[in-house]
Amino acid sequence: KPYAQVVHASGVHLQQLEALACLLSVSLSLCLGFVHDTRHNLQLRGLVVLLISKAAGPSRMNASCQDYDVVSGIYSCQRSLAEITELIHTALLVHRGIVDLSELQSSDGPLKDMQFGNKIAILSGDFLLANACNGLALLQNNKVVELIASALKDLVQGVYQENSTSGKENHITEHIGISTWKEHTFLTDGALLAKSCQAAMELAKHDTEVQDMAFQYGKHMAISHKINSDLQPFIKEKTSDSMTFNLNSAPVVLHQEFLGRDLWIKQIGEAQEKGRLNYAKLRETIKAGKGVTSAIDLCRYHGNKALAALESFPPSEARSALENIVFAVTRFS
């Protein structure tokens, strides 16, 4: 009955309830680590939370806690937190799958199918977020709830800023400096991981210094990972001419800073062909500048910051695994 009420309130016919249940089942599967972008699994956040929990181990204040799992070296509440982090991230991915119906073309398929897909994406994402909130409540830790709630706020703020910028007609020539890019990247990519790492330390009753080091690792690792992702269209040996890239990505933002706004607008104009942007031509122009090499340096800088934060943790296999994640992200040879 509750599902029927939700479906009816969303305008979905009851005959489609089975399809909705199937979608929700798929959404749960996504949270178990089956989300991928054809190249990489995307369960990185939960993995990092588990690894940093094991690397830190139990605090002296909480060493005698019966909740501590001696086999895996991780508190059960920390494992729950890792699951919650993945639930929130997956919910964001599902919600981002909503299609802007105003931009649909006849070749994209029937409008009714797209409308139904949007409703399913909204319901599925909300279902995952509801489960994440329920899991947070079960942790019974007000500071952890506050941390994850603030991470959710940061995510929403970052996506809102992103949508506000893309809604402008002249967003291609929007002036964004690298400091602004870092602030926005922390909101959309870094806040959830950084605050989840900090929350994991709070659950184990570690002091504020250890919590801050965990936060710094999550923050800088996430930024480094984002820069690596932004660099892929520019460093791949084989890149399709039709492959697009974000004009607000790190290499492009740095390229624009080196050039200056006027020259950047001129290059955008020169890359226009019949009213459409030729990404292949613009990519070669950017690669000829300093933006790509500067982005690689920036990626390694944040990677080194993440490694420095790990030095406060005792040597262990978990710490080595966290270091290897950074090495993988900052390796471009």
Q: What pLDDT was estimated at residue 160?
A: 84
Share of the chain residues as helix, strand and coil, in percent rounded to the nearest 5: 75, 5, 25
The answer on pLDDT for 114 being more than 50 is yes
Q: Which residues pair with 68 in a beta bridge?
A: 75
The answer on pLDDT for 133 being more than 90 is yes
Alpha-carbon distance of 216 to 59, in angstroms, equals 19
Query: What is the pLDDT confidence band of residue 237, given thresholds at 50, 70 and 90?
Result: confident
The answer on pLDDT for 273 being more than 90 is no
For the residues 257-285, what does the mean pLDDT come to? 86
> pLDDT (tens digit, 9 = 90+) per residue, 284-332?
999 998 999 999 999 999 999 999 999 999 999 999 999 999 999 999 8
Q: For the chain, give the mean pLDDT.
A: 81
Among 46-50, 67-71, 245-249, name the one with the lowest average pLDDT. 67-71
* Neighbouring residues of 106: CB distance < 8 A, sequence distance ≥ 6: none
> pLDDT (tens digit, 9 = 90+) per residue, 239-252?
666 678 888 899 99
Q: What percent of the chain has pLDDT over 90?
A: 50
The answer on pLDDT for 43 being more than 80 is no
Most confident of 62-71, 130-139, 241-250: 130-139
Q: What pLDDT was estimated at residue 166?
A: 58
Query: What is the pLDDT confidence band of residue 13, given thresholds at 50, 70 and 90?
Result: very low
The per-residue b/e assignment along 205-218, b for 16 or more CB within 10 angstroms, e otherwise, is: ebeeebbebbbbbb
Q: What pLDDT was estimated at residue 116?
A: 84
Alpha-carbon 129 to chain mean position: 15
Task: Give the closest residue to 172 by CA, choosing from 249, 273, 274.
Answer: 249
The answer on pLDDT for 66 being more than 60 is no
The answer on pLDDT for 21 being more than 50 is no
Q: What pLDDT was estimated at residue 253?
A: 93
C-alpha dihedral, 114 to 116 to 118 to 119, nearest 10°: 170
Q: What pLDDT was estimated at residue 89?
A: 93
Phi-psi region of 297 (alpha: psi -120 to 50; beta: other; left: phi over 0): alpha
Residue 288 CB burial class (10 angstroms; 0-12, 13-18, ≥19):
exposed
The answer on pLDDT for 24 being more than 60 is no
Among 61-65, 159-163, 318-322, name the one with the lowest average pLDDT. 61-65
Task: Give the closest residue to 92 by CA, choosing from 137, 45, 129.
Answer: 129
Among 23-32, 159-168, 173-182, 248-257, name the one with the lowest average pLDDT. 23-32
Alpha-carbon distance of 214 to 208, in angstroms, equals 10
Residue that has been written with the tokens 């820069």 in this structure? 227
Query: What is the pLDDT confidence band of residue 270, given thresholds at 50, 70 and 90?
Result: confident
Query: What is the pLDDT confidence band of residue 236, given thresholds at 50, 70 and 90?
Result: confident
- pTM, two decimals, is 0.81
Alpha-carbon distance of 252 to 291, in angstroms, equals 6
